[in-house]
Chain A
Amino acid sequence: MIRIDNVSKAFGGLQAVRGVSFEVAQGSITGLIGPNGAGKSSLFNIVAGLFPPSSGRVLLDGHDITGLPPHKLFHRGLVRTFQIPHEFSRMTVRENLMVVPPGQSGENLFKTWLRWDKVKQQDSEVLDRVDDVLKFLEITHVADELAGNLSGGQKKLLDLGRTMMTDAKMVLLDEPGAGVNRTLLGKIREAILRLNRERGYTFCVIEHDMDLISALCEPVHVMADGELIASGSMEALRQNEEVREAYLGGGASGRMGETARQPSTDEGEPS
C-alpha cells in the first residue's frame, strides 16, 4: 500500500532520517518503534506531505506521492494523527468531527447562500456519522464541550475519531496511546483493531507502549538515530541484540508488558 523508498531528511545539519526503506502492506497494522528522536515522526510527516524528504520517494498504491500536500493525500485515502493532539480548541467536539467529511456542498460559499436546504440536509447526514463515531469512542457525553477543554487522553481519542470521519485507506497514528490512561488505551486498541477488521483500514502506528504494539502490530520496524535498524515480528525483535541495546532495554527484561525505555514525552514534534 505504502512504499517508503530510501527516504532521508535533514533539518539544517541534523540528519533526522537516513535512507529508510520499508513497505506497509495492504490490510496490515504495521508498527514503528524506536527511542525519542529516532526520526519516526519526521518520517510520518514526510509520508503525510507536511514537508518533502531531502531525498527518496514515497509511493501510495504504486503512485509517486512524494511532496504532495496533505490535503491532496487525504483525498487519496491517506489520513494521519499527530503526536501532540491537534484539536480545534474553540470548536465543539462534534464540530471537530464535522469538519472532516469530504465533498460537503456547504463548503461552497455560494451554495450556503443559495442552496441552504441542501446544505442543511447534508449536514444532518454528517451528524449521523458523527454520532456513530462518538458512540464508538464512548465520548458522546462531551460532544458539546469545546475540544480545548478535553483531557489529553480524550483529545487523542478525538484525533483518532477524525480519521474515522472519512473512508480512509491508510491511517498513520503517531503515538495514539501517549498520555492516555489504561482504560482509554484499551479503547484505542480496540478501535484500531475494529477499523482494521471491519472497515479494512491499513495502519502504521508509532507507539511506545509495547503491550499495544505486541497485541496489534505485525510486522514492526525499529528506527534509531534516523536509521531503520530492524524489522520483524515483535517476538523476533525481542531477541535482537541491537534492538534491545538501542530501545527495548538491555538485560534480561524486555518482556511483554513493558513500556520501552524512553517513555514518550510531550514534545518531540514541532508543530
Chain B
Amino acid sequence: MELSGIASYLISFLTFAGVYAVLALGLNMQWGFTGQFNIGIAGFFAVGAYTSAILTTPSSPAYLGGFGMPFLVGLAGAVIASTLLGVIVGLITARLRTDYLAIASIGIAEMVRLFVKNEDWLTNGVRGIAGIERPFADTLLDSPLTYLVIVALFVAGVYFLVERAYASPWGRVLRAIRENEPATAAAGKSIAGFRLQAFVLGSAIMGLGGGLYAHFFGFLSPEAFMPLYGTFLVWVMLIAGGSGNNRGAILGAVLVWGVWSGTELLTGMLPSEHATQGAALRVLLIGVLLQVILVTRPEGVLPEKPPRLIARKR
C-alpha cells in the first residue's frame, strides 16, 4: 500500500473507532455507571442514524423527506429521536428489575430493525438511504480528515459531559444504585427517577453515534443494524476497555475496532469460496478475545476508579 492509501485507511479506521467510542460511552452511562443491562444498542443507533439521514438528504420520492437540512440539525434530530425512544423504553422498564430491561431492550432493537426494513415509505426499506453527505460537502473543507476531526470533537465533547456527570453527586447516586438499591432508596434517592435519567442520557448518546455514523458511511440499510455490529461489538468494547471508566470505553472502542478490522484484512486474503466461514471466524475471534480479557483482566484494560473528589476540604 502506498502512503496515501495507508493514511486514508487510518483516517477511516479512526473515524469508525470514534463512532463506536460514542456508542460505548452511551453504554457506559447505562451499564458502567448504573448497572442497566441494555442489549438493544443497535435500536438506538439505528434510530439516530435514520433520523439524521432523513433530515439531511435531498428530497426523494422513495422515502420520507429528505428534508435537505444541515448536518447539525440532522444530529440534533438524531439525539431527540433516540431520547424519545429512551424515555419510552425507560418509563416502561424503570421500575422493573434489570433483567427485564435486557429482554425489553433486545425486543425494541429488533422491532426498530424490522420496522426500518419494512416501512419503505419512511426508510426505503432494504434498498436503504444513499447519498447522505458529510458536513461541508462541496466546499474546500470537505475531506475524510475533516470529518475525522469533527467526530473526534464530538467524542471529546461527550467525554467531557459524561466524565463530569460521573464525578458529580448525580453520578455518585447512579453508582450507589448499581451497588445497592435498597440502601440507596433508604438514603432518600428515587431509584426509578435516576435510573430513567441515566438510561435516557445513554440512549441520546447512542443516537448521536448513529447520526455520526450515517454521515460518515453515506449509506444506510437495515443490515448495518444487526445486533452483531450494533450491540455485541459495543459490549465487547466496553468490557475490554473497562466498564465504569469513560477512558476505558474509548480505548476499548479503538482496540476492539482494531482487532475487528484487522481480522477483516486477514479474512479478506482467504479465497472467495471461504468468505462466509471467514465472517464467522471473525466473530469467533472477537468472542475469544472477550474470553481472554474476562479471564486475565476481568475489569478491563482500564478498570473503574472512584473519581477524584470534585471539591477538596477547606
Question: Taking beta carbons and an 8 Å cutoff, which residues of A are in contact with B?
Answer: 48, 50, 69-71, 74-75, 79-80, 82, 86-92, 94-95, 98-100, 102, 104-109, 112-113, 116, 119-124, 126-128, 131, 146, 162, 166, 271
Contact B175 A90 (CB under 8 A): yes
- Say whether B164 faces chain A, with CB atoms less than 8 Å apart: yes
Contact A127 B313 (CB under 8 A): yes
Interface of chain A, main secondary structure = helix
Shortest CB–CB separation between residue A106 and chain B, in angstroms? 3
Chain B, residues 53-68, CB within 8 Å of chain A (1/0): the string is 0000000000000000
A-B contacts, CB under 8 A, total: 121
If A109-B201, A162-B187 touch, whether A128 touches B313 (CB-CB below 8 Å) is: yes
Contact B311 A123 (CB under 8 A): yes
A116 and B165 CA atoms in complex are apart in Å by 10
Question: Taking beta carbons and an 8 Å cutoff, which residues of B are in contact with A?
Answer: 161, 164-165, 168-170, 172-173, 175-176, 178-180, 182-191, 197, 201, 244, 304, 306, 309-314
A69 and B314 CA atoms in complex are apart in Å by 36
Kindly list chain B residues whose C-beta atoms are within 8 Å of the C-beta of A119. 168-169, 310
Q: Which residue of B179, B187, B310 contacts A123 across the interface (Cβ within 8 Å)?
A: B310
Q: Which residue of A92, A99, A126, A271 contacts B173 across the interface (Cβ within 8 Å)?
A: A99
A69 and B186 CA atoms in complex are apart in Å by 9
Shortest CB–CB separation between residue B180 and chain A, in angstroms? 5
Known: A82-B182, A131-B313. 12 other contacts (CB 8 A): A70-B186, A71-B191, A79-B187, A88-B175, A90-B306, A94-B309, A100-B187, A102-B188, A112-B168, A113-B164, A119-B169, A128-B313
Contact A71 B190 (CB under 8 A): yes
If A90-B179, A119-B310, A146-B306 touch, whether A112 touches B164 (CB-CB below 8 Å) is: yes
Kindly list chain A residues whose C-beta atoms are within 8 Å of the C-beta of B169. 98, 104-107, 112, 119, 122-123, 126
Tell me the nearest residue of chain B to A148, going by C-beta.
B179
A95 and B309 CA atoms in complex are apart in Å by 9
Contact A91 B179 (CB under 8 A): yes
Q: Which residue of B170, B189, B314 contacts A108 across the interface (Cβ within 8 Å)?
A: B170
Tell me the nearest residue of chain A to B180, going by C-beta.
A86
A82 and B182 CA atoms in complex are apart in Å by 9
Contact B175 A124 (CB under 8 A): no
If A86-B183, A112-B165 touch, whether A99 touches B310 (CB-CB below 8 Å) is: no
Kindly list chain A residues whose C-beta atoms are within 8 Å of the C-beta of B190. 71
Shortest CB–CB separation between residue B175 and chain A, in angstroms? 6
Kindly list chain A residues whose C-beta atoms are within 8 Å of the C-beta of B161. 113
Contact A87 B182 (CB under 8 A): no
A127 and B311 CA atoms in complex are apart in Å by 8
Residue among A75, A119, A122 with the most chain B CB within 10 A?
A119
A131 and B311 CA atoms in complex are apart in Å by 13
Shortest CB–CB separation between residue B171 and chain A, in angstroms? 8
Contact B189 A71 (CB under 8 A): yes
A198 and B197 CA atoms in complex are apart in Å by 39
Shortest CB–CB separation between residue B116 and chain A, in angstroms? 30
Q: Which residue of A91, A107, A121, A166 contacts B311 across the interface (Cβ within 8 Å)?
A: A121
Kindly list chain B residues whose C-beta atoms are within 8 Å of the C-beta of A109. 165, 168, 170, 197, 201
A100 and B187 CA atoms in complex are apart in Å by 5
A87 and B314 CA atoms in complex are apart in Å by 27
If A88-B175, A109-B201 touch, whether A79 touches B186 (CB-CB below 8 Å) is: yes
A79 and B184 CA atoms in complex are apart in Å by 11
Kindly list chain B residues whose C-beta atoms are within 8 Å of the C-beta of A50. 182
Tell me the nearest residue of chain A to B166, going by C-beta.
A112
Q: Which residue of A80, A112, A120 contacts B186 across the interface (Cβ within 8 Å)?
A: A80
Kindly list chain A residues whose C-beta atoms are within 8 Å of the C-beta of B188. 71, 74-75, 100, 102, 166
A100 and B306 CA atoms in complex are apart in Å by 17
Contact B306 A95 (CB under 8 A): yes
Contact B180 A120 (CB under 8 A): no
Tell me the nearest residue of chain B to A97, going by C-beta.
B187
Kindly list chain A residues whose C-beta atoms are within 8 Å of the C-beta of B183. 82, 86-88, 162
Q: Which residue of B185, B306, B309 contacts A127 across the interface (Cβ within 8 Å)?
A: B309
A146 and B299 CA atoms in complex are apart in Å by 15
Kindly list chain B residues whose C-beta atoms are within 8 Å of the C-beta of A95. 172, 175, 306
A108 and B173 CA atoms in complex are apart in Å by 11
A20 and B167 CA atoms in complex are apart in Å by 45
Kindly list chain B residues whose C-beta atoms are within 8 Å of the C-beta of A120. 310-311
Q: What are 7 A-to-B residue pairs whose CB atoms are below 8 Å?
A: A48-B186, A70-B182, A87-B179, A99-B173, A106-B170, A120-B311, A166-B187
Tell me the nearest residue of chain B to A108, going by C-beta.
B170
Tell me the nearest residue of chain B to A75, going by C-beta.
B188
If A86-B183, A90-B304 touch, whether A107 touches B313 (CB-CB below 8 Å) is: no
Contact A70 B179 (CB under 8 A): no
A122 and B168 CA atoms in complex are apart in Å by 11
Kindly list chain B residues whose C-beta atoms are within 8 Å of the C-beta of A48. 186
